[in-house]
Chains A and B, each alone.
Chain A
């Protein structure tokens, strides 16, 4: 179990139950709450919400140290601890980093770089890719890669798949599959719709698979020596990399997924002075990314990235307007019509998992006339993920989401390449290794199946 509620700390206010998209939190008002693990999708929104902190007055002077130990948190952690928490997996990472024989590779998700600064007192939504890379290198990772690169690859795979489905009369609408909590939700509740999910893996897993194959070749390492870590805004990513099918590289594709907050703990534990860090670059070639990869961190981002590339793949012309504003926004479910040459591509975007249920019902009933639907579990996509820095006051969450979202779009605008298929490293990957999107090898490494158990 990745997400848990401490029965001794929970006051039973049930604020978490209000934000749980799958009604997995049960209990009487005023009594400790229990998470129904079979329903839980591990999105971590309850962790973000919980304010029932370990208190000197209510729990005594020794409670804090005891609970920190119980949760296996670094001793350096001084911040308040709450009833709802995610299981800490830093031990394995620390061990790998200390082990001289292990070649440690790390990737970090697009939403991490617009939030981690907040944990060090920077303003909400401060964009810090350079400091992030520097900190990870200081922590001792041998390769500091970026999930934005595999995000670009995801677009190549998923986009090709979509065009294929549209052209060949495949199962439509096709759903994105980047969000593991969403995938788990569909598997739990609508298994009959599993074929609607794109078979492409999430960027984290695509990255993991590439690092231990093509990456290993480039570094002339054995895949078995590589320890692959991902830093994610998400509590559910740890579950995703744990899925038994995620070992197409021949090894576990990603060895450990940690959250943005956990990374901040690591940095503090290592006594790295974040604010004094000088910006550094990600390692190449998997640190090369486009704006399309960057916007994966916000709701509508995957869709926008897919359109930027899909338009060109289908029409052979470059898209007139790179900013596809019609798919941006924060509403729970929104649709847009995109003209891709002669094709009128009908797309939908869901953010906040509870908004997906009517969509799924409509798909099941066959009443939803869309080609492609992006689904993200968290309120405004990964920027609002369960593993992101937790706000002390929820009154600032809208502001935080807005600032992080805008930082991501700012980042997109300032990048040299803004379309996944233009990423030179991606091109090279296909030229040298994968041959083509949806090639046999690509299929083997970068695609997956669902409802296997």
Chain B
């Protein structure tokens, strides 16, 4: 069992607590999570920090982890069908290009994510909306 330690920032709330994970790299499993000495949390964690990483194990309690791209090929209400990334990406690109062509860039709305995705992905998202689509229609749920 090859154990390694990784420190990261808790994905819940805005307190920015630091957690130290011990990972079994061979099994690709988290063995233990303990509070790390972060600027804001000083070696403490709340219940979400202590035990909120369990979803990575995909215990299938509430919903299922998404594992493959999916498309509703038969339109709304039709079943989702698993597809390859290539197909998914080109499908999205085609549809967005078509809508942009037909109704203009302001007919497309995009969101950022205040959750797990991170700053870089948010930056790219707004860049995509502004530079590629050509609209300022980008927002996230800061207010929700």
Contact between chain A and chain B defined by CB under 8 Å: no
- The interface of chain B, by Cβ under 8 A from chain A, is none
- The interface of chain A, by Cβ under 8 A from chain B, is none
